[in-house]
Amino acid sequence: MSKQFFPNLSQNYIEILKDDEYYDITIEVGEDPNVKIFRAHMIILYYRSPFLRRTLASNKKNDKGALSHIKLSNISPDIFQIIL
């Protein structure tokens, strides 16, 4: 059973990265004219990246549950895609 669990889990994470419907944060990356907006899931970012954990901790959701948005202009979209 565990032999099937982990490959399925990895596949699920890949699917989550491609999900355009159930995201709760947008991340604007790069500088003009090379800017890209990524859609992501805060809970995954929070637990997988110490840097993003600190960034997200200082960028709490508002009371209305609106999407969170952060800007990371000091990294290129191509590099961020690899990191993500």
Supply the DSSP string of 70-84, one letter for each residue.
EEETTS-HHHHHHH-
Strand, helix or coil at 12?
helix
Range of the domain at 29: 4-83
In the chain, the number of structural domains is 1
In this predicted structure, what is the pLDDT of residue 16? 85
pLDDT of residue 61: 58
Task: Report, as ranges of residue numbers, the positions in the chain whose pLDDT lies below 70.
Answer: 1-3, 59-65
**Model's pTM, two decimal places?**
0.75
Bridge partners (DSSP) of residue 48 are none
CATH of the domain at 12: 3.30.710.10
